[in-house]
Amino acid sequence: MNLKYGIDSRPPFGQLMLYSLQWFVLAIAVVVTSLFIAVGSPAERVLYAQKVFALMGIATIVQALWGHRMPIVVGPASVLLVGIITTLAAQGDAVNTNKIYTAVLIGGVVIALLSIGRVLEHLQRIFTPRIVIVILMLIAVTLSPTIKNLIFPAGAEARHAFGLWFTIIGVPLMALAASKLQGVLKSIVVPVALLIGCIVYYAIYGGFGEVFSQYTSSDGPLLLPQLEFDGSIILAFLLCYVALLINDIGSTQSLGAMLGTTDTDKRCRRGVGITGLFNILAGGIGIIGPVNYSMSPGVIASSSCASRYALLPAGAGLIVCAFVPSLIAVMSAIPNTVIGVILLYLMGTQLAAALHMVVSTNSAQTFEQGLIIGLPVMTALLFGVIPMQVIPSVLRPLIGNGFVMGVITVILLEHVIFAKRK
């Protein structure tokens, strides 16, 4: 690939800041679309956002300098969104976030340990292309109920018409813009959609001043008050971390292949180790954990700049945002409806990546191979909407988690049921 700047190149300061700007905009977009999971008072949600911005900024810098040392944006793991959302839904009124973030911390410990030695090489044999494809699909489809509830929130029926028309008009326009724009402009599709959606929403309904005034200060514990262990929640999250691990490895290896690095395996181990350490820290402070994002190659291809040093100002910018509560307040004031439509578009791109992988790897050439892909997705959809009262309370975080049940199903189909017939 013809690049203007390689991985270890140091562009002139002016150019470096311009290249960094696109990484910063992208990082802001991926962080903001995860903040809706914060629970508590407005002040507690602001503190949650501050911690997320700070952690993602520090993780970005550490990865670029000492981890995989590659230009890869770091953001909240979407697969952990699935784990957090489904666990909160299973808990019902008895929400206990201590159990959730204890599970995040333990998942980080496991990921960090797997980066030691040659364990990753052995694990990669389990995750065939079909399993990876299914996991990519599961991340998208299991977020569907959440996306629906964001676009059409209960108790706000008078504003459902906005959600309907913003979806009908906004999603095709985002797809059109992504297909027509070139270079750095491609990376601003989501931020621009967020901005336009907010402007239209508050122009119609008003109330931005009242919303903003609620978020101008932050409050709450900096660290997780106490560790609380729940076996079923921990198991559910460990399966989520399987997907996180695959995503992390895939992001590093795909970029390494694109840039022609000769030490990709070494970079991968370091990157996974750092991801594990920052997930431990995330669990300790009670926030969603980070992962390396697979969209980075597109940014590099459009800009012709692969310098890892372009990530440093972007990471520093995220840290600065963490110390400006009023700026966080503006971001926290993004309507759930707008976030839902943005997530719909992003999960559509996730499904597109999975379908592209089906074709590129020839993973569905027979009926049985197609069943290995299709049945886990349908299983996940069923268990995502199954009435919780029919599931024993101790098993709800596991059986009530459509993503987890989908992962279990695809592993059984791939390696047990159809192992000899493929």
SS3 1: coil
- Region of residue 183 (phi > 0: left; psi between -120 and 50: alpha; otherwise: beta): left
Q: Tell me the pTM.
A: 0.79
Distance of CA 225 to the CA centre of its chain: 25
Segment 319-329 shows an average pLDDT of: 86
> Which pLDDT band, with edges at 50, 70 and 90, does 92 fall under?
low
> Which pLDDT band, with edges at 50, 70 and 90, does 327 fall under?
confident
Q: Give the C-alpha separation, 210 to 212, whole Å.
A: 6
pLDDT at 69: 95
If one counts every other C-beta atom within 10 angstroms of the C-beta of residue 76, the result is 25
pLDDT at 393: 66
Dihedral (CA of 363, 365, 369, 370) sign = positive
Q: Give the C-alpha separation, 56 to 45, whole Å.
A: 17
* 67 Cβ contact list (under 8 Å, min separation 6): 270, 271, 273, 274, 275
Segment 339-357 shows an average pLDDT of: 84
> Which pLDDT band, with edges at 50, 70 and 90, does 189 fall under?
confident
Using alpha carbons, select from 74, 233, 232, 83 the residue that is nearest to residue 143. Answer: 83
Domain boundaries, the chain: 13-86+96-129+157-335
Tell me the per-residue pLDDT of 238-250, one tens digit each, with 9 for 90 and over: 888 987 887 788 7
> Which pLDDT band, with edges at 50, 70 and 90, does 311 fall under?
very high
In the predicted model, what is the mean pLDDT of the chain?
Answer: 84
Segment 19-24 shows an average pLDDT of: 84
* 303 Cβ contact list (under 8 Å, min separation 6): 19, 22, 183, 184
Whole-Å CA distances, 341 to 82, 312, 337, 401:
17, 30, 6, 23
Segment 53-67 shows an average pLDDT of: 96
Q: Which tokens belong to 179?
A: 């297909």
Q: Is the pLDDT of residue 186 over 80?
A: no
